[in-house]
Chain A
Amino acid sequence: MKQLTFETLIAVFEEIFGRGLFWAMVVTAAVITIAYLYVLIRDRHLSARKFLLAQMFMPMGAVASVIFVQTVTHSSFADIGGPVDWIVLLGVAGAGAVGTAILVYTIQSLTKGRQTAE
């Protein structure tokens, strides 16, 4: 890489997904994050019950994100070649798990409304 600046990274991501889809994804992620922060602040606590359900979706999110990445890149677990590959794989799984948990938690909070601490 000659110049790896923030602007270059944005340009690269725009090219990967197309400008429209990339910014749509950024906006979607931002909206979910803001909605999550909103329900946290609205409810003034993290509901353990909702969090438990959200956690149960984490493995699904992890597996789904790994399969997604492997499918679009024509690769499989047999291609893992070194420690850095495991880190990338775990990173993909982790991102999928956390993203899913936040999404599930937020959906529950928005649909079920405000709940008081048990």
Chain B
Amino acid sequence: MVKDVFSPSRRGFLGLAGGAAALSAMGAAKPATAAVQTNARIVIVGSGAAGTGLVNRLVQRLDGAQITIIDGRKQHYYQPGFTLIAAGLKQASYSVSNTADWHPSGVNWVEDYAAEIDPEAQRVTTQGGEKIEYDYLVVATGLKLNWAGIEGFELDQVGQNGIGAVYAGPEYAAKTWEAMDRFTDKGGVALFGRPATEMKCAGAPLKYTFLTDDYLRKKGTREDSQIIYAANNGGLFSVPVVNEKVKLLFGERGFETRTHHILTGIDAGTREAYFRTPEQHSVDANGIVTVTPATEQKIAFDFTNVIPPMIAPDVVRESGLAWEDKWVGQGWLEVDQETLRHRRYPNVFGLGDIAGVPKGKTAASVKWQIPVVEDHLVASIEGRDGTEIYNGYTSCPLITKVGRAMLVEFDYQNRLTPSFPGVIAPLEELWISWLMKEIALKPTYNAMLRGKA
């Protein structure tokens, strides 16, 4: 015999339903911030993650502004997906959408590339010759992958002769997977590294090294293989505590690290990579300076992931807006690292990869930068000072095998800044961090593009 264990009333049911309705109504309520009235002309150069995310927020904050976004590319790339494509886990289409689909209504999209920025005349000229004047300019061009900086390398080599190039785009990432898949079937020498310039997502070269190792192990060919990582300087990652962890993992996985190797050329025929090791000075305990002269090195490979030097696009380097005494030759925009406002032209902002700040060339950084530029720009229009500060937040779900990652987050001071302190340890290889990369990251990114995150 069983007695009634739960005996709710109709009134109770109605109460519950009412509560649920109230909750859902609360969720739908939006913060009521009045839009700022203005007729300012705002030009955003670039409709990648940064430009698109910002324009969607500006249209919510401003009423009457003439906003123009300039970008000739019809396709939008979800770049954090490239690693997953190159690991055979996603199709190339995973990272591709239409630029137009992300634009809010009421914004003028000029489907052309900027050819000239004149900050004195406050004017942007497109490649097609259209001249667009602005009161405020946001430079969000992204960066340029300088393939010409690798002698002997052509993009059409990707996918053959063991050559991969994950950064080159979704199709090239897919071709890189084909090459990696073939390589890991047999094994051999896998060669990885990173350029000596600033670069986007400095964790990506490491991730791909770990992923190739994982496939070699899964296919039983790791024993017959050698994995070489040619670092551009003495370390593996710019944040010291992360660097130590990566060094430990490299040791555990049996990777061979070569330091101070800067890739200069590739010979696809002979499958050799050429490196320059710069002159180095060291001082011993007696104060005696030893000079190691610069050398040229050659490393043979069966599979490699070519990552070129990364620099600012020509339009920025020739605009007079770039740093002259920092990152010489790379041309990043001279902005204040906390406000992202140009140091010489206060009506110009830098957002995303192009910003000349010491950290932050990731989509996660863009997510933190957008509210800062938005705040200072809207404040300027209102004639007050903005208050938001960008602290250098950069995030990298550092994949260490298929199924595990370390959720590494840090700021300008190289402090770890975990989003979930005490729950998700930043330097532990965890499944939950992998789940975030695989499921939650793209939706969060898309929400950011729509100006909602």
Footprint of B on A, CB under 8 Å? 1-3, 6-8, 10-16, 30, 34, 37-38, 40-41, 44-46, 48, 69, 72-76, 78-82, 84-85, 88-89, 117-118
Contacts and interface: CB of A to CB of B under 8 A. Distances in A.
A12 B450 CA distance: 11
Contacts of A30: 20
17 contacts: A1-B419, A8-B452, A12-B447, A13-B443, A37-B8, A38-B13, A41-B10, A44-B4, A45-B5, A72-B439, A73-B438, A74-B403, A75-B403, A75-B438, A79-B401, A117-B3, A118-B2
Interface residues of B, number: 49
Interface string B198-219: 0000000000000000000000
A75 B27 CA distance: 33
Contact of B4 (A7, A73, A76, A117): A117
B17 A81 contact: no
B110 interface: no
Interface of B: 1-10, 12-13, 16-17, 20, 26-27, 30, 89, 367-368, 371, 393, 401-404, 419, 423-425, 428-432, 434-435, 438-440, 442-444, 446-447, 450, 452-453
B430 A84 contact: yes
Contact of B13 (A7, A41, A46): A41
A88 B443 contact: no
A85 B434 CA distance: 10
A12 B27 contact: no
A80 B450 CA distance: 34
A15 B368 CA distance: 20
Contacts of B428: 81-82
Contacts of A89: 431
B2 to A, nearest CB: 4
Given A12-B440, A118-B1, A7 B6 contact: no
A40 B403 contact: no
Contacts of B2: 48, 117-118
Nearest to B451: A11
B1 A3 contact: no
The 9 A-B residue pairs with the shortest CB-CB distance in the complex, in nearest-first order: A15-B443, A79-B403, A75-B403, A45-B4, A11-B447, A48-B2, A85-B431, A15-B446, A11-B452
A71 to B, nearest CB: 12
Contact of B430 (A2, A82, A118): A82
Contact of A41 (B9, B393, B432, B443): B9
Contact of B440 (A10, A16, A75): A16
A6 B430 contact: no
Contacts of B13: 37-38, 41
A79 B447 contact: no
Contacts of A75: 402-404, 431, 434-435, 438
Contacts of B9: 41
B410 to A, nearest CB: 15
A40 B4 CA distance: 11
B431 A81 contact: yes
Given A3-B371, A44-B8, 18 more contacts: A1-B419, A7-B452, A8-B452, A8-B453, A11-B443, A12-B447, A15-B446, A15-B447, A41-B10, A41-B12, A45-B4, A74-B402, A74-B438, A75-B438, A81-B430, A81-B431, A85-B430, A88-B431
Contact of A45 (B6, B430, B450): B6
A99 to B, nearest CB: 17
Contacts of A6: 26-27
A88 B419 CA distance: 17
Contacts of B429: 81
